[in-house]
């Protein structure tokens, strides 16, 4: 029995989580593996209930689970709250406490959605990039940090970008290992031209590559150039490895190549422990989108695809992961769309679905695909 903690969070979080829960339930009824779920609070809803964005009780539950599935945190209601207890601080604390240093953000363009991208179909068709973002270091956590009042009446805001050798090596290692299972290419992005931490990043990635991963094709790019190249010729990339802040930015950009933030899942992984297990958090890369929350129009597919990543990386359920991804592709191929991925021009052949109808369509697709899969096995 594998234990999953569900953290629906804020905004559209509970709506998209509800659809992911149905998907988990479907696998429980149709496959041998049993997944046990329980819920916890994170973000704004936790601030309202417990006064903090991540309570010790929820953190403990997450530590004891085999995997955590989170939907989204934050919203205007908590905008004025102090940084230390903002909804986002709950997510950052969870990442840090579980030492989820490797954040995998795949940007894959589904054939059915090539026209949903704002870029030309010829540029994005078939695109399959994986961004490996360092998640527990860098400017997000570096000290000193804060806002201080200066004697002259001005204020001064400080954050610190800092990386050590082992932090760089462990995330680069994940990138190299994953590249070996893909197209064997890693591009490392930093600003070695202006930042010492970037220079160190480049040197350490180079050293690790020379020592252990010579078979992988490694290139380096300044992060600004990488942002530009992602739009100019994204197909040149396979795996991109980068720090916490650049990874935050580049992954939003890569997401838009695929048409919508509403399609992108992610996995945040810790080190593999001696018993073979690793702490893991799965979440869509989109935010809580307060503007569309509660309207039953959000796209649940990024959260559902995060479940597929959970199957693959936490539970070794490869067949189930593939089946779920296949169901998503089939639903899209049938022209079923939530609002965010409706074609902007001619929408002939496409049907706009609500969040819950998209969930239902997916379950129907799983039902239809299951016998085919059994026949193949």
Report the partner that residue 88 touches, choosing among ligand IPM, Mg ion, none (CB closer than 5 to 8 A by kind): ligand IPM
Q: Which candidate in 191, 238, 243, 340 is catalytic? A: 191
The upper half-sphere exposure of residue 152, i.e. CA atoms within 13 Å in the direction of its Cβ, equals 2
Least Å distance between CB 135 and ligand IPM?
A: 8
Q: Is 134 in the site for ligand IPM (CB under 6 A)?
A: no
Which stretch, 85-93, 294-302, 315-323, 361-369, contacts ligand IPM (CB under 6 A)? 85-93
CA-atom Rg of the chain in angstroms: 21
Catalytic residue at 224?
yes
**Strand, helix or coil at 29?**
helix
Residue of 48, 79, 111, 224 marked catalytic = 224
Question: Binding ligand IPM by CB under 6 A: which of 10, 19, 41, 88?
Answer: 88
Active site residue 140: yes
Q: Does 263 bind ligand IPM (CB under 6 A)?
A: no
Q: Report whether 250 contacts 145 (CB < 8 A).
A: no
Site track 236-255 with ligand IPM (rule: CB under 6 A), x = hit: ------------x-------
Task: State whether residue 252 is helix, strand or coil.
Answer: helix
For residues 23 to 52, the per-residue mask of contacts with ligand IPM, x marking binding by CB under 6 A and - elsewhere, is ------------------------------
Closer residue to Mg ion (CB): 245 or 360: 245
Q: CB-wise, 288 or 330, nearer to ligand IPM?
A: 288
Q: Which of 115, 128, 252, 357 is catalytic?
A: 252
Spatial distance between the Cα atoms of 13 and 186, rounded to a whole number of angstroms: 33
Closest to ligand IPM by CB, 58 vs 330, is 58
Encoded tokens for 35: 């997944």
For residue 371, the minimal CB distance to ligand IPM (Å) is 38
Q: Which of 248, 282, 313, 340 is catalytic?
A: 248
53: burial class by Cβ within 10 Å (0-12, 13-18, 19+)?
buried
Sign of CA dihedral 364, 367, 372, 377: positive
> Which residues, 54 to 83, sit near ligand IPM by CB under 6 A?
74
Residue 146 pairs in a beta bridge with 158
In DSSP terms, 158 is beta-bridged to 146
Q: Minimum Å distance from CB 303 to Mg ion?
A: 16
Residue nearest to Mg ion (CB): 248
The residue (of 90 and 218) whose beta carbon lies closer to ligand IPM is 90
CB closer to ligand IPM, 91 vs 113: 91
| Whole-number Å distance between alpha carbons of 340 and 258 | 12
**Contact set for Mg ion, span 250-279 (CB under 5 A):** none
Q: Is 10 a catalytic residue?
A: no
Buried b (16+ CB within 10 A) or exposed e, 62-76: beebbbbbbbbbbbe
Interaction of residue 248 with Mg ion, rule CB under 5 A:
yes
Beta bridge partners of 38: 5
Min dist CB 88 to ligand IPM, Å, is 4
Residues 6+ positions from 299 with CB-CB distance below 8 Å? 16, 260, 262, 263, 338, 339, 340, 341, 355, 358
Q: Rounded CA gap, 19 and 230, in Å?
A: 32
Residues 270-289 that bind ligand IPM (CB under 6 A): 285
Given a contact cutoff of 8 angstroms between Cβ atoms, the answer to whether 46 and 80 are in contact is no
Count the neighbouring beta carbons within 10 Å of the beta carbon of residue 161.
17
Instruction: Kindly list the catalytic residues.
Output: 140, 191, 224, 248, 252
List residues binding Mg ion (CB under 5 A). Answer: 248
List residues binding ligand IPM (CB under 6 A). Answer: 74, 88, 91-92, 248, 285
């Amino acid at each position: 029995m594998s234990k999953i903690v569900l953290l629906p969070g804020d905004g559209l979080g509970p709506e998209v989580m509800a659809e992911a829960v149905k998907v988990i339930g479907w696998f429980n009824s149709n496959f041998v593996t049993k997944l046990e779920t329980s819920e916890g609070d994170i973000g704004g809803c936790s601030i309202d209930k417990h006064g903090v964005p991540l309570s010790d009780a929820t953190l403990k539950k997450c530590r004891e689970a085999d995997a955590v599935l989170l939907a989204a945190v934050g919203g205007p209601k908590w905008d004025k709250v102090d940084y230390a207890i903002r909804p986002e601080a709950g997510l950052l604390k969870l990442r840090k406490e579980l030492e989820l240093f490797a954040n995998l953000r795949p940007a894959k363009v589904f054939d059915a959605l090539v026209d949903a991208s704002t870029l030309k179909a010829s540029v994005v068709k078939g695109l399959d990039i994986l961004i490996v973002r360092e998640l527990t270091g860098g400017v997000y956590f570096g000290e000193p940090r804060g806002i201080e009042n200066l004697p002259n009446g001005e204020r001064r805001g400080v954050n610190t970008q800092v990386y050590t050798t082992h932090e760089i090596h462990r995330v680069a290692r994940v990138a190299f290992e994953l590249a070996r299972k893909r197209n064997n290419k890693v591009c490392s992005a930093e600003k070695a031209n202006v930042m010492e931490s970037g220079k160190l990043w480049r040197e350490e990635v180079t050293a690790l590559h020379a020592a252990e991963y010579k078979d992988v094709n490694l290139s380096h790019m300044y992060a600004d150039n990488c942002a530009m190249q992602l739009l100019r010729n994204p197909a040149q990339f396979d795996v991109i490895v980068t720090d916490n802040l650049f990874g935050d930015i580049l992954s939003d950009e890569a997401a838009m190549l695929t048409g919508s933030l509403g399609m992108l899942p992610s996995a945040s992984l810790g080190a593999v422990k001696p018993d073979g297990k690793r702490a893991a958090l799965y979440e869509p890369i989109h935010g809580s989108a307060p503007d569309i929350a509660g309207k039953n129009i959000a796209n649940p597919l990024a959260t559902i695809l995060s479940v597929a990543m959970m199957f693959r990386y936490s539970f070794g359920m490869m067949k189930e992961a593939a089946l779920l991804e296949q169901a998503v592709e089939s639903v899209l191929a049938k022209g079923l769309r939530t609002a965010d991925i409706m074609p902007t021009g001619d929408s002939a052949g496409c049907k706009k679905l609500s969040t819950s109808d998209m969930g239902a369509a997916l379950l129907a697709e799983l039902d239809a695909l299951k016998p085919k899969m059994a026949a193949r096995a």
